[in-house]
Structure 1
Amino acid sequence: MFIFTFLTLRNYLNHALATTLVKVNSFKVFARSIPGLIFTWLITRYFLFQFITLKFYYPEGKWLKGDVELYQFWSLGLIQRIFPINESMWQYPPLAGFIFTIPQYVFGNSNIGFIFTMIFFDFLILVTILKFGRSLFERKIPVSLDGFAGAWFWIIWPILMGPLLLTRFDLVPTFFAILGLIAVYEKRINLASFLITIGTLLKLWPILILSILDKKVIQKMILPISIFSALILILIELISVGSLSFLENQSSRGLQVESVAAILFVIYKLLGGNVEYPFRFGSLEVEAIFANQIAILLNISTLIFFVIIFILNIKERLSILNIFEKSLIVIIFAIGLSRVFSPQFWIWIGGLSALVVIFKSTKLKRVILLLSISALFTQILYPALYVGLLSGEFFPSLIQIIRIVLFVSAMILSFKLLIQSSKKRVTDV
């Protein structure tokens, strides 16, 4: 009887093990298949679309399309080639105006049309990251998941940051920044110059990529970027009105409640301090003692940081990190030292992180993990608990504190990597 029981148990365990191995192998095959990737992208984006259009319940989901409705309002003037003038919420470089008109021209409906346009750019980002990852794999460069890791990361990213991803224009400059970085990696300098110029004229942050590029690459890119920028700006100015009106609005912004530095005022208000959040320049800004001084200090700190990074990079002291890792780090610091930290900034981080995780040797795994958790807390906070944060309620304030602590932790880890890089000279990946 004992022998029979033993044999039965052994057969059961062998069968269970075999079944598990089959499932594991099936998962590995699925994770490395383009049909599996596309299928998952379709499913996730279907749910995102349903959340945005309120077909499926999403906490305070009515606020997700707030910016989309604003884009629609702007597009009515933009299709007449008139930029928003004396409009404090217009803070986009001139080329952004063209993107805002696409839904009106193509779909005749800026609300749903804009979301479909962003789904298109979302798919372009996925294809770009997948193609790059697979090309590295085919060249025998050590990559994760046979080059599929970055694409899977991008598919999963909106599960962390939420359906907001498809309701914000930031997908477009992120797409061009990704293309520009890949072009730099492939040593296609003129193409990279053009792509980074386009990204910068859509939203300014892609120009920060220049601060971490090789000295010789920067020298080769300065002239093409200057020429491309001048030609595009002159053309837009000739055929439109008010294309440079965004500059004044950008410079006038104060300290936004969601920014890293504003956490001091969130805590102060939680403890009963007198803090107000008036709506100015498209966001809720901190109005309290020392708020303006802190905003000025942030501007100075940002300038100092990028000067230091630029000098270290020119002296080839950051070469232990590849260009994708360095780009992610400088964008993390650009956001962390900014007066503003809007939820859509996570789109930038998600796109750059997807490039980073392609490489097996990446040193930013812990940084990206911290960022991912912080992004999840952002989704919990906005839009569902946002009003509670403004009112100084305990739970929303706690979520904001955790979110910022995680982000600052990622900044600290990134800074340590930069310090290590400045002490070593290793050939760039």
Structure 2
Amino acid sequence: MLAAGWLTTRALMLWLLAHDQYPLLGRGGVAREVWALYFHWYGVLSHGAFPSGDRLWQYPPGAGPVLLSPAVLPGLTYFQAFVVLTLLTDAVITLALARAGTRPGRSLRGAALWTAGLPLLLHIPLARYDVQVTAFAVVSLLTLSRSRRVGGAFAALGALVKVWPALALLGTPRGRGTREAWTAAAVTTVTLLALLATLFRNPFDFLRQQGGRGVQIESLGGTALMLARRAGWSGRTRYQYGAVEFVGPHVHAVAVCSLALTAAAFALLLLWRVRARHWTPATPYDAALTAVLLFTVTSRVISPQYMVWLIGLTAVCLTSRHTTQLAVAPLVLAASAVSTVEYPALYGDVINSTWVGCLLMVVRNGLLASAAVLSFVRLWRSGRRPTPEPVEADIPPGNPDRVPALFHTSG
């Protein structure tokens, strides 16, 4: 049943991608990201250098090998090879979630959510490399219970591609397990950065481009500016840094507020980790979802493809019967569905801040904000429970690092 569902939904996503020239599917804009922009970067990277002085290049060095990967399928065009590799990665995620769900004490709900949830984003996941990034985070979380070092290494690989998978390690239980995971992540990061710096020129140029980003129209701050625009604010929109952003009076102040909210979210997560006294097998999963939700909501940019991350992490949570995030899943799925109405279907309304565009962004970002708050509250409460829950059967016997983590009562 799961395999049939995956094949059917992915065939539909491929059909949408093949017909994305239709107005409601983006007039070709979704696919253009791959065959124009990614292919351009592929040409630069294939000559041994990262893009330099390119405002659109805002990704860590690990993104380079991902964008070069279509070269392993020489019989196809760059676009075709990219889509094939994305589908293969999607299948790997599905298999990993299904395998995790068949273990004693686990559930197949995670695999089902990923299979049914990703198509809510239409063809967008096939034309972005966020599925590949999500795969690193999913594999990292699912392997943590068996090997902290392997989980840490995969988190580092993902972080080198798009930073946020590093948050997969936030919920590792205190003690030896955390030290092993974070040490493995650090060693992997340093080793690969050194390797990429040796093989390519300008590996850190992306840092100059990140600092100049403003407030994207789809962000929470962008929603506030959209409503202000309807009330008479004189700002306007402009395509820059790879996104449509607001420019005008007070935009910088909104961007600073977003950064302050991100810092506050980080402080809350640290406070949770310091004060949490109870871990379950699902705590690393739940903490990762909470962290990415908080950082997404407070970000200056909330592109539709970010929902791929949240669907993937929600799916990981649902593989465990101990998860506290069941109520968060419907909010993530609803936000994903609304995201594809605002982009690509009605993106013109969002750019022009029409009342329809404002309503879509208020609903989408309201759902995300609600999911983030609910996720954090449930994570916080789960960490204060006085009575530990039983250990899942998939934890190997004889490893003292796994079992005591559930019964820690102090740092």
Between structure 1 and structure 2, the one with the greater Rg is 1
Q: 2:37 aligned with 1:70, yes or no?
A: yes
One-letter amino acid of the counterpart of residue 358, structure 1: T
CA displacement, residues 154-206 of structure 1 (integer Å, 9 cap, x when unaligned): 111123222111111011111011111112123x0111121111111111001
User: Partner of 2:140 in structure 1?
Assistant: 180
Give the Cα separation in 2 of the matches to 1:276 and 1:51.
Answer: 32
- With 281-290 and 104-113 compared, the bigger mean Cα shift is at 104-113
Give the Cα separation in 2 of the matches to 1:426 and 1:279.
Answer: 53
Give the Cα separation in 2 of the matches to 1:82 and 1:427.
Answer: 52
User: Partner of 2:405 in structure 1?
Assistant: none
Superposed displacement of residue 311, structure 1? 3.6
Give the Cα separation in 1 of the matches to 2:380 and 2:191.
Answer: 39
Give the Cα separation in 2 of the matches to 1:427 and 1:248.
Answer: 47
- Partners of 1:51 and 1:57 within 8 A in 2: no
What TM-score comes out, normalization by structure 1 length? 0.85
SS of match in other structure, 1:284: strand
Superposed displacement of residue 275, structure 1? 2.4
Q: 2:318 aligned with 1:357, yes or no?
A: yes
User: Partner of 1:117 in structure 2?
Assistant: 85
- With 82-91 and 277-286 compared, the bigger mean Cα shift is at 277-286
- With 44-53 and 108-117 compared, the bigger mean Cα shift is at 108-117
Give the Cα separation in 2 of the matches to 1:204 and 1:85.
Answer: 20
User: Partner of 1:204 in structure 2?
Assistant: 163
Unaligned runs of 5+ in 2: 392-411
- With 173-182 and 249-258 compared, the bigger mean Cα shift is at 249-258
Change over 3 Å in CA distance of 1:317–1:302 after alignment to 2? farther
User: Partner of 1:10 in structure 2?
Assistant: none
Unaligned runs of 5+ in 1: 1-35
Give the Cα separation in 2 of the matches to 1:169 and 1:368.
Answer: 23
Bigger share in helix = 1
Give the Cα separation in 2 of the matches to 1:413 and 1:364.
Answer: 8
Change over 3 Å in CA distance of 1:340–1:360 after alignment to 2? same
Give the Cα separation in 2 of the matches to 1:58 and 1:131.
Answer: 39
Q: 2:303 aligned with 1:342, yes or no?
A: yes
SS of match in other structure, 2:59: coil
Q: 2:290 aligned with 1:326, yes or no?
A: no
Superposed displacement of residue 236, structure 1? 0.9
User: Partner of 2:360 in structure 1?
Assistant: 399
Superposed displacement of residue 148, structure 1? 2.4
Give the Cα separation in 2 of the matches to 1:114 and 1:416.
Answer: 39
RMSD of aligned alpha carbons: 2.0
CA displacement, residues 114-169 of structure 1 (integer Å, 9 cap, x when unaligned): 111111111111111111111x2xx2x1x4xxx32211111111232221111110
User: Partner of 1:96 in structure 2?
Assistant: 63
Q: Percent identity?
A: 24
User: Partner of 1:283 in structure 2?
Assistant: 243
Aligned partner (choices 115, 126, 130) of residue 94 of structure 2: 126
User: Partner of 2:131 in structure 1?
Assistant: 171
1:281-320 matches, cutoff 5 A: 281-317=241-277, 319=279
User: Partner of 2:150 in structure 1?
Assistant: 191
One-letter amino acid of the counterpart of residue 377, structure 1: V
Give the Cα separation in 2 of the matches to 1:422 and 1:360.
Answer: 16
One-letter amino acid of the counterpart of residue 51, structure 1: L
Give the Cα separation in 2 of the matches to 1:48 and 1:339.
Answer: 29
SS of match in other structure, 1:278: strand
SS of match in other structure, 1:262: helix
- With 202-211 and 83-92 compared, the bigger mean Cα shift is at 202-211
Aligned partner (choices 209, 226, 239) of residue 249 of structure 1: 209
Superposed displacement of residue 315, structure 1? 3.7
Superposed displacement of residue 105, structure 1? 4.0
Change over 3 Å in CA distance of 1:427–1:261 after alignment to 2? farther
Superposed displacement of residue 276, structure 1? 1.1
Superposed displacement of residue 94, structure 1? 1.0
Change over 3 Å in CA distance of 1:279–1:47 after alignment to 2? same
Superposed displacement of residue 414, structure 1? 1.9
